[in-house]
A and B are shown apart, each in its own frame.
Chain A
């Protein structure tokens, strides 16, 4: 044992215990493995440590601070006022604009995510084959993803403009008179949704494309031999094998879409008639325009909880399906 411990200290190299009895070798081997495993764990931990520090300092601590702020009267310039407990949470229950903003956000997610997933899956299948021009198509679809959202919002607002917009000119070709889009409460949210689908299509397409490329071709060959047509292959092979990737895309896109802010801020300022007032814009408005950071924090906490619940059920549902 003494020899063994000494060897462990010196590095636990198996070559140095060749002449020891077999039971000692086994123990030494297992301790060596443990040591290696521990070392690997430490290395892995050190690699994720910066991310952990980042998350702790810039994510988790602000969440805790935000929760604390939600229990106080607080404004950026005025600082902490009196402790009011859960009054902000009680207030939001009776706040019609909060419910409206929640409804707007939910509708935005419901409009956007399914359409985006279907379109991006279709596009991913279209460009997965290395045919002529596939690279160009892929790049074209990915371009909006890497373009600044603020610039895109400005450009799309110009395109939607009821008098000067490009879209109006296109409609004009077909004899359709100029439409108010962003100043119409029924059209403003769908207009933002269309822009955001176009913007985010590349992201979900590239993830799904990676998922599609990971499905072995043998499955399709076997299905072909068994007489399955393309639709059957898609339903019984592609979809089940793509489910983990689909789950990732759906969950991330739901979360991202729930946090829509920039296009609302840039294109409509939440209007007209609160028709595009998404929850994150409402939080911003309460915190920075209305000087009520305490209430804004309460709204942020509720949004966080909602997102956690939605993500949990989405993952559970999709895992069960898988």
Chain B
């Protein structure tokens, strides 16, 4: 017994160490709630028998990410995915065609998009027997976390195969080699099936990287019951109201029914969600400039200079207007954003792309939300415009399943994938063939979006530093609507300086 003691201790210590060895790895998992669950699911899928585990992994992602309103539909899809799992049991392991493979896909935490992605993923599995055992594990994160999540996943060599890329970010990923080029997988004719703007946004230096799903153009939706009550009749055409006319309508529909000094019904919400990002809020400053002017361009052709573009007198005036909508004597929009304010019938107008139609249909399936669409407001002495572009499908350079990932990207951006996607999201398709086949885009209200895309759409500013720009722009907009004394011109000039400092590293990127 005595002789065994010295041996016992090192053995016990080794066992103890071995037992502790797994703990630190667990601390490296993503910090967000949905990310953690999805990652855990992905890990299970990797370590357990693939066929048995991959479908539940997808199930977890779908159910965890979907909000309560979409749970039923998401659960149905998840159940379908689970039902499909036994088919994978007979598949052989490895990367050969027909094998059970899990593709990890980082995406945005948006109920409509999640439903669309799940539906297209199922269709992909059925599209070819060799993909029957492919499971796509969607890992969803909020919009603001999407870029950092993709960035850290690629940089750390995490097991990520694909990601959903916001159109202006494709250039950043391409610049940093965080996305693989797909030019060789498409013929010139195939590229012509999408709108030129979509192809341009999915490209970098003339090389195509990421197929698009949708196009977009934000117009102004209105709650017909509220505008009728106010005696307003917004024009049913793309060239709608000027800013002045719109402001008068917003004021008229801002109501304080309780007499508390705080409106119970607001005039407008300019943009989706609660974030004051460039996609919608950035339109205002660019609209203040005449077509082709520095204000209208929004950034210098070098893609890194903002002084003289962001802080022109007319742009500063537009930022001051933006503040007055929130903090003026008669505010028309809440200074602290309210989530889903338009869909919850708390505001009369909203500036939004046409996917609002999908959301309204989902939330009000009985059709008891009466809405209309008019053009996006614009400065009379400036330009009417909407920002184009939408989501693209990127393939990570870290993928161990390149062929399958490329096939998924092609399918998602292809005729069938786009059609399914559209059936869930109801947003302008990027594909001409699909757009031509949809009769609703030839009649009001969706016709306006089709027209808007052709007549007033401009791409967002082109720079590989779009994320840095948008981060500073979002801060600027938040500061502009702060309570108290705010020196708008100084804030704008300061923001331009910060943007240039943050983007200095990209100097010469487009030469």
Contacts and interface: CB of A to CB of B under 8 A. Distances in A.
A289 B334 CA distance: 27
Main SS at interface, chain B: helix
B467 A185 contact: no
A83 to B, nearest CB: 15
B261 A177 contact: yes
B328 to A, nearest CB: 14
Contacts of A88: none
B151 A77 contact: yes
A13 B155 CA distance: 58
Contacts of B468: 289-291
A290 B466 CA distance: 10
A58 B25 CA distance: 10
A270 interface: yes
A147 to B, nearest CB: 13
B502 A290 contact: yes
A183 interface: yes
Contact of B483 (A53, A150, A184): A184
Contacts of B16: 46-47, 50
B85 interface: no
A18 interface: no
Contact of A10 (B2, B27, B471, B475): B2
Nearest to A73: B505
B479 A273 contact: yes
A156 B413 CA distance: 41
A46 B482 contact: no
A114 interface: no
A240 interface: no
Interface string A125-144: 00000000000000000000
Interface in B324-355: 334-336, 338
Contacts of B152: 76, 288
B17 interface: yes
Contact of B505 (A58, A185, A272, A291): A291
Interface stretch (A105-113, A157-165, A244-252, A310-318): A157-165
B481 interface: yes
A50 B23 CA distance: 10
Interface residues of B, number: 47
Contact of B17 (A43, A50, A185, A186): A50
Given A172-B260, A184-B484, A289-B468, A58 B24 contact: yes
A11 interface: yes
B334 A77 contact: no
Interface string B476-507: 00110111101000010000000000100100
Interface in B441-493: 465, 467-468, 471, 474-475, 478-479, 481-484, 486, 491
Interface string A252-275: 000000000000000001111110
A54 interface: yes
Main SS at interface, chain A: loop
Interface string B163-200: 00000000001001110000000000000000000000
A78 B175 CA distance: 9
A150 B262 contact: no
B155 A161 contact: no
Contacts of A285: 471
B482 A162 contact: no
B148 A49 contact: no
A180 interface: yes
A39 B262 CA distance: 73
B335 A180 contact: yes
B170 to A, nearest CB: 13
Nearest to A76: B155
Contacts of A47: 16
Given A58-B27, A178-B260, A291-B505, A272 B482 contact: yes
Contact of B13 (A49, A185, A290): A49
A57 interface: yes
B475 A271 contact: yes
B154 interface: yes
Interface in B214-243: none
A186 B502 CA distance: 28
Contacts of B178: 77
A205 interface: no
A269 B474 contact: yes
A43 B475 contact: no
Contact of B155 (A73, A77, A183, A292): A77
Contacts of A75: 176, 505
Contacts of B486: 273
B33 A150 contact: yes
B20 interface: yes
A77 B467 contact: no
A273 B481 CA distance: 10
B262 A11 contact: no
B502 A184 contact: no
Interface string A172-183: 100001101011
A289 B467 contact: yes
B176 A77 contact: yes
A42 interface: yes
Nearest to A58: B24
Contacts of A177: 260-262
A24 to B, nearest CB: 21
B484 A186 contact: yes
Interface string B1-42: 011000001101100110010011001000011000000000
A161 B335 CA distance: 10
Given A54-B24, A178-B262, A49 B17 contact: yes
Contact of A180 (B9, B336, B505): B336
A285 B501 CA distance: 14
Interface in A268-296: 269-274, 285, 288-292
A185 B482 contact: yes
A257 to B, nearest CB: 19
Interface string A1-42: 000000000110100000000000000000000000001001
Interface in A178-206: 178, 180, 182-186
Interface of A: 10-11, 13, 39, 42-43, 46-47, 49-50, 53-54, 57-58, 73, 75-78, 148, 150, 161-164, 172, 177-178, 180, 182-186, 269-274, 285, 288-292
Interface of B: 2-3, 9-10, 12-13, 16-17, 20, 23-24, 27, 32-33, 147-148, 151-152, 154-155, 173, 176-178, 260-262, 334-336, 338, 465, 467-468, 471, 474-475, 478-479, 481-484, 486, 491, 502, 505
10 contacts: A46-B13, A54-B23, A58-B24, A178-B260, A183-B482, A183-B483, A184-B483, A270-B475, A273-B479, A290-B502
Given A77-B178, A183-B335, 18 more contacts: A10-B2, A43-B9, A46-B9, A46-B12, A50-B20, A54-B20, A54-B24, A162-B335, A163-B334, A163-B338, A172-B260, A183-B482, A185-B483, A185-B484, A269-B474, A285-B471, A288-B147, A291-B502
